[in-house]
Amino acid sequence: MSSPTYPDHLLTLDDWVALPDHEQHHIEVCEGVLIASPPPGSRHDHAEMMLAMQLDDQLPDDLCVLGGVEVLVSDNPLTVRVPDVIVVDRSLVDADPDRAPVGEVRLVVEITVPGTARTDRVTKFSEYAEAGVPQYWIVDLDGPPMMAVFALEDGWYRYDGDRIGTTTLKAVGSDVTLALTDLLPAPVDPVEPSPR
């Protein structure tokens, strides 16, 4: 069995592109340092898909909702994030770049899982604000789904409150209604044994 190899220097964009696929890990780069974490799991993946579908159904056709797309936050030092959901202009999707430049991202949504909450609430919060992403939402699935909403104001995020249940808010200038309870799979009723 071979051991994994790790870079012995800060990564460049060329280094990042040359990395092999890591299906067993969620990988990103923060200031040239490779960050690998376990995959977030099916509960998270369901929430990501449901939120993306709700947004996509309500936003205008000139916007695209994407999930799991690389975002180039900075190229020196290299920072590449893979947010759970982003909203970009359709023209960017039509151009089909390898990764989205952060200046083209209109909204970022991160869904926290054990091990990512501090990164989502502190590190990525700062990175996205400094890069000028106009809106940032953080979804917490621990308990009833809750979403913290932030909007960029004077170079930093203004807190616009926590949302639960079904909520209407502005997403990239459009009113959207999100059913946050739908982010988690519906509980399955236990099957009653049939009478014999």
Q: What dihedral angle (degrees, nearest 10) is formed by the CA atoms of 43, 47, 53, 59? A: -170
pLDDT at 4 over 60: no
Tell me, what's the pLDDT at 68? 85
Provide the pLDDT confidence category of residue 179 given band limits of 50, 70 and 90: very high
Tell me, what's the pLDDT at 3? 45
Average pLDDT, the chain: 87
pLDDT: is 80 or 64 the higher one?
64
For the entire predicted model, the pTM comes to 0.84
> What pLDDT digit, counting tens, does each position of 116-154 carry?
888 899 989 999 999 999 999 999 998 899 999 999 999
Tell me, what's the pLDDT at 44? 87
